[in-house]
Amino acid sequence: MPVVNLTPHAVTVVDESFRVIRRWPGSDAPARVEAVRVPVGLEVAGVPLMAEERTRANLPEPQDGVWFIVSSVVGSAHPERRDLLVPSDLVRDGRGVVTACRSFVISGSPVRGRTAAAEERVGA
């Protein structure tokens, strides 16, 4: 299945031994969500509070058999889409910079196949 990276960063997937499984270059035209911020007239410790409304991302239409890698913000803005992959289980370097991931989360999908122990932990 084709995978299209719609983030501005290269996405590298590694296994538990840090061996590269796959790498996709960053996009020259990444999917973005814009935010409109409006002051709410309140402050906390002298810091103004804002309300924020996010727009929909500039995503391509779904295509049969095609997956799109997006940021978590873009994935969250489109819970109706089942073709969006959000990098998960992030790998960071010594400075805390993300260098890879080990898996993807399918945007908008409910968790399936959880074990009884996992159900207990999340209180489901």
pLDDT tens for residues 70-118? 999 999 889 899 999 999 999 999 999 999 999 999 987 665 654 444 4
- Tokens coding 18: 């840090």
pTM: 0.77
Single-letter amino acid, residue 28:
D
What are the tokens at 100?
């890879």
CA distances from 17 to 1, 9, 63, 66, 109 (A): 25, 22, 33, 28, 28
Q: What is the pLDDT of residue 116?
A: 46
What's the confidence (pLDDT) of residue 1?
A: 83
Residues 39 and 82 sit within 8 Å (Cβ to Cβ): no
Instruction: Give 36's strand partners.
Output: 53
Report whether pLDDT(123) > 60. no
Q: Extract the tokens encoding 82.
A: 């089942």
Q: What is the pLDDT of residue 11?
A: 98
Tell me which residue of 83, 103, 72 sits closest to 4, measured CA to CA: 83
For 25-79, how does the pLDDT look when each residue is reduced to its tens digit (9 = 90+)? 999 999 999 888 999 999 999 999 999 888 888 899 999 999 999 999 999 889 8
Residue 50 DSSP class: E
- CA quadruple 59, 64, 66, 67: dihedral sign: positive
Residues 6+ apart with CB under 8 A from 35: 52, 53, 54, 55
